[in-house]
């Protein structure tokens, strides 16, 4: 009988873990390149990631000087479309 209770708790734990995975927060990281201009990166961040101009400028400078910058955080589903759009604009990004 105790085995059945353990099995039930194990299933509950698996369901809970699954819910946590869905709500996990990810970062959309933009990487530096030698091709795109500051203006282009800023424009893309404003259009795709809904950044204000000053935020987009700051992110562009961080990317330039540090090599990368987390430009947005959220769930995988929220970031996936932005990642695709940045890639379509020839910007190098990944979801981490």
pLDDT digits (tens, 9 = 90+) for 1-48: 555 555 556 656 665 555 555 568 999 999 999 999 999 999 999 999
Q: What is the structure's pLDDT at 16?
A: 56
Give a yes or no: residue 85 inside a domain. Answer: yes
Mean pLDDT on 74-93: 97
Residue 5 lies in a domain: no
> For the chain, how many structural domains are there in total?
1
pTM of the shown model: 0.76
Does 53 reside within a domain?
Answer: yes
Residues of the domain holding 83: 25-95
> Could you tell me if residue 1 is inside a domain?
no
- Is 84 among the domain residues? yes
User: Could you give the C-alpha distances from 2 to 10, 83, 84, in angstroms and in order?
Assistant: 12, 48, 49
CATH number at 60 reads 3.30.1390.10
Is 63 within the bounds of a domain? Answer: yes
């Amino acid at each position: 009988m105790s085995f059945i209770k353990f099995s039930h708790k194990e299933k509950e734990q698996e369901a809970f873990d699954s819910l946590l995975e869905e709500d996990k927060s990810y970062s959309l990281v933009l990487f530096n390149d030698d091709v795109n201009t500051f203006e282009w990166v800023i424009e893309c961040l404003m259009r795709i990631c809904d950044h204000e101009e000053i935020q987009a400028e700051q992110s562009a400078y961080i990317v330039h000087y540090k090599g990368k910058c987390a430009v947005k955080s959220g769930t995988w589903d929220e970031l996936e479309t932005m990642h695709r759009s940045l890639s379509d604009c020839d910007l190098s990004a990944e979801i981490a």
